[in-house]
Copies of this chain bind each other. A is one copy, B any other.
Amino acid sequence: MALIVQKYGGTSVADAERIRAVAERVVATAREGNQVAVVVSAMGGETDRLVDLAHELGGDEPDPREYDALLSTGEQKTTALLAMAIRRLGATARSFNGAQMGMRTDAAHTRARIESLDAGRIRAALDQGHIAVLAGFQGTDEDGNITTLGRGGSDTSAVAAAAALEADVCEIYTDVDGVFTTDPNVSSRARKLERVAYDEMLELASLGARVLQTRSVKFAKRYGVRLHVRSSFHGGEGTWVVPEEEVMERLVVSGVTYNTNEAKIRVRGVKDQPGVAAALFTPLSASAIVVDMIIQNVGQDGSTDLTFTVPRDDYARALGLAQDAASVIGAQAVEGDEAIAKVSIVGLGMKDHAGVATRMFQVLAEEGINIQLISTSEIKVSVVIEEKYTELAVRALHAAFVEAGATAPVEES
């Protein structure tokens, strides 16, 4: 008998009919002889409706404690409805809200972090033969106030439950079949990965793959929770996200991702002296603008260019702040460009293969694509290019690295 945690997002429980379908899958899993704990999100659209009401009554910045109390009702509603639907199929179930499931967080409303999960009540319910239906996204702080986990919260709830219950697997149900080597909308040759390591998944997620939030993957890595990302529409195998040692086939490149939600700002002719970078980036971080890549080139005249990327939504604000800073530090000019894309290749096998970055630059050069910025880590290479070349770059890199496959590793220089 295995202990399985399943997580269904808002789309999978959007209406009564879909909740019934989820109930059927959950009950089928239990009838195969497994103990099952299910984590659910709010019904699709419910959270948006609650957010609208919050702004209508609470203004632009509703009180965070009450905002969390309000939003938490969305998942509670789904748990009760799913538990009813499961019971109607002849199985038994018990719903748990954040407080009932022992999900203790810090007190940072709207973006709380999990501190502990005392799974005693969930385990008791499972041992009594119940299916446990758990509210994702929520917990309580040490004073019993309701908190929510913020973006990606329900995935993280599911991983935390799987960790606390020492589950055999945490299944993340989604509207795609798993994790793909690239976006199937861009390349028809994208294929589903059977297994990826936590670190690969982290890079893929943070570089553009939207199937999992990085936060839940970090949590899974820390507690060794095996994730199975799979379709809620059929029973086929999806992608397993597992410890590195379980990934047999160490692909040089397991995925090609892209992100067109960033913009680039270049501050030219900065004096190359201490404190310049601080003067530029302090106002940005004070405004909660997250800077991604930063590149500095020292020119021959002793002055330097500083180039960085920011989320495109923050571009206008960031440009203004950079212009203010530029006049203070005596820079020559500030230039901006929104029409950029970050394209990345990710793979565990890069650790063992030199020259992967060089090969990437060659592939792009062969397509006539100019590289504006480069950033690397042990298992990824990212480049910034003109946005219009995004799909061309992704397809070329996918063909060169993924379709060529691990059987043709790059071994040069």
Contact = CB atoms under 8 A, between A and B. Distances in A.
A117 to B, nearest CB: 16
A76 B59 CA distance: 19
Contact of A81 (B16, B70, B144): B70
Interface in A52-108: 53-54, 56-59, 62-63, 65-67, 69-70, 72-73, 76-77, 79-85, 87-88, 93-95, 97, 99-100
A62 to B, nearest CB: 5
Contact of A83 (B53, B66, B76): B66
Contact of A95 (B53, B69, B80, B95): B69
Given A70-B81, A73-B73, A77-B73, A57 B19 contact: yes
Contacts of A79: 69
Contacts of A62: 84
A274 B272 CA distance: 110
A67 B84 contact: yes
A56 B16 CA distance: 7
Nearest to A17: B56
A20 interface: yes
Contact of A70 (B57, B70, B77): B77
A77 B74 CA distance: 9
A147 to B, nearest CB: 13
A119 interface: no
Nearest to A55: B84
Given A19-B57, A76-B73, A84 B100 contact: no
Interface string A32-62: 0000000000000000001001101111001
Given A19-B57, A58-B84, A58-B85, A65 B94 contact: yes
Interface in A352-397: none
Which of A50, A81, A87, A88 has its CB near the most chain B CB atoms (within 10 A)? A81
A317 B79 CA distance: 37
Contact of A144 (B20, B57, B100): B100
Nearest to A69: B80
A77 B59 CA distance: 16
Nearest to A16: B56
B58 A88 contact: yes
Interface of A: 16, 19-20, 23, 50, 53-54, 56-59, 62-63, 65-67, 69-70, 72-73, 76-77, 79-85, 87-88, 93-95, 97, 99-100, 121, 144, 146
Given A58-B81, A63-B83, 14 more contacts: A20-B57, A23-B57, A54-B84, A57-B88, A63-B87, A65-B83, A65-B95, A66-B83, A66-B87, A67-B80, A69-B80, A70-B81, A76-B76, A97-B146
